[in-house]
């Protein structure tokens, strides 16, 4: 089945630094990937749609300069949280699908803690 790998699974960083999270489709190509954020006891919130070879599309209220997305190949999308602050501490999850109307596969998530 389709597998999406996300790395790192946990990261702790100092306030003001940047953190990069990788999302890879291991056995399929994905022209589109999605990034979500989830706070404790809340549902997943879609942040942005990552498009291979073009700019990401951000959901309303998500700062594109703070959450930089790069989708340079058909199997890799990265999310960089720039100048991280404690309020950015959250669970970040990516997803992708090998085809239209097939179930989306999600990564295992990245727990970001900003201290």
Partner 1 sequence: DAKTTQPPSMDCAEGRAANLPCNHSTISGNEYVYWYRQIHSQGPQYIIHGLKNNETNEMASLIITEDRKSSTLILPHATLRDTAVYYCIVRGYNTDKLIFGTGTRLQVFP
Residues that bind partner 1 (CB under 8 A): 4, 6, 32, 34, 36, 43-46, 49, 91, 93, 95, 97, 101, 103-109, 111
Minimum gap (Å) between residue 5 Cβ and partner 1 = 11
Sign of CA dihedral 84, 68, 72, 51: positive
Q: Which is nearer to partner 1, 17 or 42 (CB)?
A: 42
Q: Which is nearer to partner 1, 83 or 104 (CB)?
A: 104
Return all residues near 42 (Cβ < 8 A) that are at least 6 apart: none
User: How many C-beta atoms lie closer than 10 Å to residue 115's C-beta?
Assistant: 9
Q: Which is nearer to partner 1, 14 or 101 (CB)?
A: 101
Minimum gap (Å) between residue 103 Cβ and partner 1 = 3
Residue 94: closest CA among 114, 60, 70, 63: 70
Minimum gap (Å) between residue 113 Cβ and partner 1 = 13
Minimum gap (Å) between residue 106 Cβ and partner 1 = 4
Beta strands in the chain (DSSP E): 4-7, 10-13, 19-25, 32-38, 45-51, 57-58, 67-73, 76-81, 90-96, 105-106, 110-114
Q: Which is nearer to partner 1, 18 or 102 (CB)?
A: 102
């Amino acid at each position: 089945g389709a597998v999406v790998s996300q790395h790192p699974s946990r990261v702790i960083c100092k306030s003001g630094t940047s953190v990069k999270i990788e999302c890879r489709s291991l056995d399929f190509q994905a022209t589109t990937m999605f990034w979500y954020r989830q706070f404790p006891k809340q549902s997943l919130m879609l942040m942005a749609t990552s498009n291979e070879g073009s700019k990401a599309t951000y959901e309303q209220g998500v700062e594109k300069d703070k959450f930089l997305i790069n989708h340079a190949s058909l199997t890799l999308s990265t999310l960089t949280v720039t100048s991280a602050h404690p309020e950015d501490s959250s669970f970040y999850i990516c997803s992708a699908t090998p085809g239209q109307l097939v179930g989306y596969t999600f990564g295992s998530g990245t727990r970001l803690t900003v201290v």
